Amino acid sequence: MYSEKVMDHFANPRNVGVIEDADGVGEVGNPVCGDVMKITIKVAEDRIEDIKFQTLGCGAAIATSSIVTEMAKGMTLEEAVAITKQQVADELGGLPPAKMHCSVLATDGLKRAVDDYLVKHGREPIGGPIVSDDPHFDPHEDDGEV
């Protein structure tokens, strides 16, 4: 059901924790499935210098949080918010359709952290819509978004 890479990131998640003096914080959750994620970032010259996460959820939620932090570290803020749920799933060697919502939460948490940083510095948010906030978002439906 899960790829080896998903299992590895679940069993050995990378970048777990909280950056105490974080420049940006993104918190997202889905009451239907119960997954909750918090992503904290440290930014230098509009580049993610450090990133950590805390996730309460299933193995896929932990794995997607872990891989998103690995993908985003070192990226510019613009590059980071452009990471898609499909890129997250692909990087993990695939996710079952019923678990694609976990990749949405991970990318939404990252967008929230970036936008939090930008707003704190008097700048316009660039993350775009947070899918998991949409009242029509079904966490167990794969909408085919790429």
Q: Are 131 and 90 in contact (CB under 8 A)?
A: no
pLDDT at 144: 44
Give ∠ CA 87-83-104 in degrees, rounded to 5.
75
Exactly one of 28, 33, 88, 114 is catalytic; which is it? 33
CA dist 79 → 29, 99, 110, 118, 137 (Å): 23, 24, 11, 14, 24
Domain spans, the chain: 4-126
- Give the SS3 label for residue 35: coil
**For the domain bounded by 4-126, which CATH number is listed?**
3.90.1010.10
Residues in contact with 1: Cβ distance below 8 Å, sequence separation at least 6, in sequence order: 96
Is 58 known to be catalytic? no
Exactly one of 102, 106, 113, 118 is catalytic; which is it? 102
> Model's pTM, two decimal places?
0.89
* Tens-digit pLDDT profile for residues 61-116: 999 999 999 999 999 999 999 999 999 999 999 998 888 888 889 999 999 999 99
* Tens-digit pLDDT profile for residues 21-40: 999 999 998 766 788 999 99
Mean pLDDT of 2-11: 95
